[in-house]
Amino acid sequence: MTPIASTGGVAAPDTSRLKSGANLDKAGKQFEAVFTRMMLKAMRAPKLADDLFESKALDTFRDMADDKVAQTMADHQPIGIGRAVTAFLGRSQPDLNAEPAKPAGS
């Protein structure tokens, strides 16, 4: 049986997915969509009165519609939080910040 190396009880975070700029951009866009979904859900939370036609089916449909709106907003007109998270995470990755090598003839 092979012994497992002790890390002092602290698991090291897996940041290998952040090595690619495309993965980082995709993660930023997904974060933007999740944040927008949460914002829409919070906006719908306060109720001033009971709805006349309230049902679980209507709530489910409204949630699905909000998910689609949030994804569309993140894809076409982002509010910028995904870009900010991408920039923050990108600063911690020296491989992504390095200038691409210029050809010798230019």
Which helix (DSSP H) or strand (DSSP E) does residue 24 occupy?
Answer: helix 21-44
What pTM does this model have?
A: 0.61
Q: Which residue has the higher pLDDT, 90 or 13?
A: 90
CA distance 87 to 91: 6
Check: CB of residue 70 under 8 Å from CB of residue 40: yes
Which pLDDT tens digit goes with each residue over 15-46?
Answer: 665 567 788 888 888 899 999 999 998 988 88
Q: Which residue has the tokens 């690619």?
A: 20
Instruction: Give the model's pLDDT for residue 12.
Output: 65
Q: Which residue has the higher pLDDT, 76 or 98?
A: 76
Model confidence at 51, pLDDT cuts 50, 70, 90, reads confident
What is the mean pLDDT of the segment spanning 82-90? 85
Instruction: Give the model's pLDDT for residue 44.
Output: 83
One-letter amino acid at 1 equals M
CB atoms within 10 A of CB 82: 22
Task: Please tell me whether residue 8 adopts helix, strand or coil conformation.
Answer: coil
Phi and psi for 7 in degrees, rounded to 5? -110, 15
Pick from 18, 31, 22: which is nearest to 80 by CA?
A: 31
Domain boundaries, the chain: 18-45+53-95
Has residue 106 got a pLDDT over 50? no
